[in-house]
Amino acid sequence: MARTDAIVLGAGIVGVSAALHLKARGLSVALVDRQAPGEATSFGNAGVIEGSALLPVSLPRDPLTLLRHALKLSPQSNYRLAALPGYASWLTAYFRASAPAAQAVIGRELRPILALARAEHHALAKPARAMGLLSATGYLKLYHREADLAATAVERALADELGVAYTVLDAAGVRVLEPALKPGFTAAVHWHDCDNVSDPGGLVKAYAALFEQQGGLSLRGDARSLRRSGARWRVETAEGPVDADVAVVALGPWSLDLLKPLALPAPLPMAVKRGYHVHFAAQPGVVLNRGVTDRAGGFALQWTKGGIRATTGVEFARRDDPPTDIQVRRVIANVRKLLPVGAVREAEPWLGFRPAFADSKPVIGPAPGQPGLFLDFGHSHWGLTLGPVSGRLLADLVTGATPCIDPAPFAPTRFAKGA
């Protein structure tokens, strides 16, 4: 049996980053996953390290837009009717958190952690020799109607107040940055403090390789085998059991599979926001220099090593429900209106699960009522962005160091009655 100071469960961007930060504090660390690092949600995302992000992705509040979503007329979302009863209380909380006043509060709470996100990635990517996977070209959000640009005024005002850099562009300005885009949009906002990742799964693997070079143990095992063993935690792995004083749950959308049997005193109401991707073959001479979002079209585009990756918006369905094709079909048609692209590469789209709390913030901190157990999951639309900085905060909390930012907004106890 191996003994380490800490076990990190889950080798996505969040778990690998936590393992690296704990290792950097001098702890011996075992990183446990049932598969190789960076092969789940952290593999398939849109590849934007979104340091400029301000307001969380929200539910529309005006009745007409909501009706379009309910009638499945919008390419931005989909849902499975049979799954909705299970989402009812989560969706109610999400609707409340989507009110403008609540969004402004959440945006301000998230700003300190988002502001550190890129620097924390660079601090890992440099020693991991992975800076070549990042390009600092910012993120472009396109709008087809002046009214849609006008609707971003609140976010831009917050950006001005908090010092987040952006440029508003007309169609000609966009074409200077992205000459390959076809006409059809009227304006865009170029958010500057963002990196684009050409291989998100490869980035996680590079960080995991750095962890091993630094003496970290990378093991295969089922995290659900976690048990108390006296005052310590024990997990079964292919190499035998591992014991540690500290265990960190970083299983992304699978985190509650482990936690539910532990019956924590405070609930952790996490759901998944499903999302798909496909890759298009690039046409000769067609290049995309940065992540581009076409919200009305329901997709984001990224230039990746597998081709031009198109990711979809949100699907509300149970994590393990079978995939549907309504969003992907619409997105493929809409992408072709915006960019000359070749054939779709996959026979079946990739399906992933954004692990999300209704307030769009992760939980980072000690698990209530379980000494030595720490939580680091629920990063929603920004897990690739926030993995490394979350790892730093988590390591601060595990070791009792002064936290790099105020951890209160991310406290796992925030869902308890009266909190």
Give the binding site for ligand FAD (CB under 6 A): 10-15, 33-35, 39-42, 45-48, 50, 222-224, 250-254, 275, 277, 311, 352, 354-355, 377, 379-385
Which C-beta is closer to ligand FAD: that of 139 or that of 143?
139
CA distances for 338 relative to 47, 76, 85, 150, angstroms: 19, 16, 36, 21
Pick the closest to residue 405 from 114, 18, 3, 38 (CA basis). Answer: 114
Give the Cβ contact number of residue 78 at 10 Å: 23
Which C-beta is closer to ligand FAD: that of 33 or that of 155?
33
Name the residue with tokens 């702890």.
27
CB of 17 to ligand FAD, least distance (A): 8
Which C-beta is closer to ligand FAD: that of 14 or that of 71?
14
Which C-beta is closer to ligand FAD: that of 212 or that of 340?
212
Buried b (16+ CB within 10 A) or exposed e, 8-32: bbbbbbbbbbbbbbbbbeebebbbb
Secondary structure (H, E, C), 132-180? HHEECCCEEEEECCHHHHHCCHHHHHHHHHHCCCEEEEEHHHHHHHCCC
Tell me, what amino acid is at 6? A
Which C-beta is closer to ligand FAD: that of 40 or that of 97?
40
Name residue 50's beta-bridge partners. 194
Which C-beta is closer to ligand FAD: that of 234 or that of 381?
381
CB of 183 to ligand FAD, least distance (A): 26
Which C-beta is closer to ligand FAD: that of 62 or that of 262?
262
Name residue 167's beta-bridge partners. 190
CB of 312 to ligand FAD, least distance (A): 6
Cβ neighbours of residue 106 closer than 8 Å, sequence gap 6 or more? 55, 56, 97, 359, 360, 361
Cβ neighbours of residue 383 closer than 8 Å, sequence gap 6 or more? 12, 13, 14, 41, 42, 45, 252, 354, 355, 362
Tell me, what amino acid is at 361? K
CB of 219 to ligand FAD, least distance (A): 10
CB of 409 to ligand FAD, least distance (A): 17
**β-pair type (373-377, 240-249):** parallel
Task: Give the whole-angstrom CA distance, residue 171 versus residue 143.
Answer: 9
CB of 291 to ligand FAD, least distance (A): 7
Residue in the shown chain whose Cβ atom is closest to ligand FAD: 383
In angstroms and rounded to an integer, the radius of gyration of the C-alpha atoms of the chain is 21
CB of 85 to ligand FAD, least distance (A): 23
CB of 238 to ligand FAD, least distance (A): 11
Which C-beta is closer to ligand FAD: that of 22 or that of 418?
22
Task: Give the whole-angstrom CA distance, residue 6 versus residue 28.
Answer: 6
What secondary structure letter does DSSP report for 311? Answer: E
Task: Give the whole-angstrom CA distance, residue 185 versus residue 143.
Answer: 6
Secondary structure (H, E, C), 261-285? HHCCCCCCCEEEEEEEEEEEEECCC
Q: Which two tokens stand for residue 50?
A: 């979104």
Which C-beta is closer to ligand FAD: that of 17 or that of 103?
17
CB of 276 to ligand FAD, least distance (A): 6
CB of 53 to ligand FAD, least distance (A): 8
Which C-beta is closer to ligand FAD: that of 35 or that of 402?
35
Which C-beta is closer to ligand FAD: that of 46 or that of 142?
46
CB of 133 to ligand FAD, least distance (A): 14
